[in-house]
Amino acid sequence: MTLQQVSQVIRWLRLHARDHRLEAQAWDVILTVWLLGWAGLPPSLLLHEWQWLPLCLLGFLMPSLYAHLRRQLHQRGQLRCDWLTAL
């Protein structure tokens, strides 16, 4: 997921925050994990703490994984996802 796509989803959520509060909070958590992935990479490389690298990678991929999961659930009709139009 590109930074522009993440920005579009966040913009959509801010416009529809009154109707989608839980989804906006979920995206706040996802973006926090994404930021922790980026912030954790330099210290784990500099300190040779290789066991943290998979968690950093998971943090990098979190927005894409979440969007992919939501898209699949929406296509199956299990969960409605209105912000997919923003992508």
Residue range(s) defining the domain that contains residue 7? 3-86
Residue of 22, 58, 24, 52 whose CA lies nearest to 40? 52
For residue 9, name the pLDDT band (cuts at 50, 70, 90).
Answer: very high
Q: What pLDDT does residue 30 have?
A: 95
Q: What is the pLDDT of residues 62-86, one digit of tens each?
A: 999 999 999 999 999 998 888 888 8
CA atoms of 57 and 62, how far apart (whole Å): 9
pLDDT on residue 17: 84
Q: Inter-axis angle of helices 53-75 and 3-15, to 10 degrees? A: 60
- Tell me: the pLDDT tens digits for 37-61? 999 999 999 999 999 999 999 999 9
- The number of folded domains in the chain is 1
Residue 59's closest CA among 81, 30, 86? 30
